[in-house]
Chains A and B, each alone.
Chain A
Amino acid sequence: MTLSDFSWLTDSPIFSTALWPAWVAGGAIGALAFAQRWLTDQPLGCSAAFGNACARMGSRLPLFQGPAHSTATDWKLWFLVGIFLGGLLASLSTGTWAEPTHFGTLYTALMPHSDVGRVLWWLFGGVLIGMGSRLAGGCTSGHTINGVAMGSPASIVASAFFFAAAVGTAQLSHHLLNTFGG
């Protein structure tokens, strides 16, 4: 058996189309989140794994020593490794790598133009994402896709503020760039 025997699969739109219709991709994500819940009895989530990463890299801070980040929960890290491989699979199956400098008009105009400036920009953004998700107890996966779907009040509030702040930040940046010409 060779790979060409699976051409009906590898040539199918599932693998060859880079962007699926919103309802197909969204429906599949919703079904996956539920399948994980049903099979493992663990809710979908991404940001808590970064606490495990801190503990595994040797941090002795009490926040990362509790049961939420114990070695018994290191499947959270394996989930992130899987996501990396899933992104790799997505690129390999379309036959093209994602363009690493395709940030769109907003971010291209907004970011510093020097390499050092951009690295600092991304570090700063990452720190905000890391601090915010840990303080709020979840991110767009844990709070929005998982929490809102089960009607959890804290997750609905968190998601509303995620979106309000993100929309506000992007719109404000857009208007400032238009006013001052970037």
Chain B
Amino acid sequence: MNNSSTLIRNGSFLLFGVVFGFLLSRAGATDPALIASLLLFENLHLLWVIATAVGVGAVLNFLAKQLKWRSVASGQPISFPHKPFVRALIPGALLFGVGWGLTGVCPGTAPAMLGEGQWFVGVILIGIVAGTWLVGFIHHIQIKRQVQSRNMTAANR
């Protein structure tokens, strides 16, 4: 990829981000009190936000698949890559849910909350980077162990 197309790409994602952050804020997703009232079933406003977002997305995705709409960037029919069933999917999802339930913050709303003036989210963002790094570190240790046990088996043979 050359420099100008990288610039256009990064710039367009910056713009998508501005709109997404603005919408998350207007949706109330950046308000920890509203998240708490969703999780306690006191106010289902955010449930309807998520349900409408998924519903509108599902209809548009379905139309795009059926009618083979082409992506502007690739000129090819839009791709719909499913995320894989990784081994740590369920434990990971549970850890995420506990963190989300304890703070009312998720990785997408965190930068928007910081922009709105909720400075405490800066600490949570540092935590998210540390947690991400920790997964990379555990992954690294696992690989090292596997290599070691393979070498041991080879040496014993």
Contacts and interface: CB of A to CB of B under 8 A. Distances in A.
B157 interface: no
Q: Which of B52, B64, B97 has the most CB of A within 10 A?
A: B97
Contact of B112 (A26, A84, A124): A84
A124 B57 CA distance: 33
Given A34-B57, A59-B136, A130-B131, A123 B126 contact: yes
Nearest to A171: B40
Interface of A: 17-20, 22-23, 25-44, 46-47, 49-51, 53-54, 57, 59, 61-64, 72, 74-76, 78-91, 97-98, 100, 102-107, 110, 118-119, 121-155, 157-171, 173-174
B36 A40 contact: no
Interface residues of B, number: 114
A84 B81 contact: no
Interface of B: 1, 6, 9-28, 30-37, 39-41, 45-46, 48-58, 60-61, 64, 69, 71-74, 76, 78-86, 88-108, 111-121, 123-137, 139-140, 143
Contacts of B143: 62
Contacts of B9: 40, 75
A118 B120 contact: yes
Contacts of B53: 26-27, 29-30, 33, 145, 149
A100 B31 CA distance: 10
28 contacts: A25-B49, A26-B56, A34-B60, A37-B78, A53-B129, A53-B132, A79-B20, A81-B17, A90-B22, A97-B117, A98-B116, A100-B118, A104-B34, A110-B102, A123-B130, A125-B99, A128-B99, A129-B100, A129-B127, A130-B134, A132-B98, A134-B131, A135-B88, A145-B54, A152-B83, A157-B93, A162-B93, A169-B101
Contacts of A163: 97
Given A90-B22, A128-B102, A161-B97, A98 B120 contact: no
Contact of B128 (A26, A41, A84, A129): A129
Given A19-B26, A29-B20, A32-B19, A133 B60 contact: no
Contacts of A145: 50, 53-54, 57
Q: Which of B28, B55, B106 has the most CB of A within 10 A?
A: B106
Contacts of B134: 127, 130-131
A78 B10 contact: yes
B40 A170 contact: yes
B21 A82 contact: yes
A80 to B, nearest CB: 5
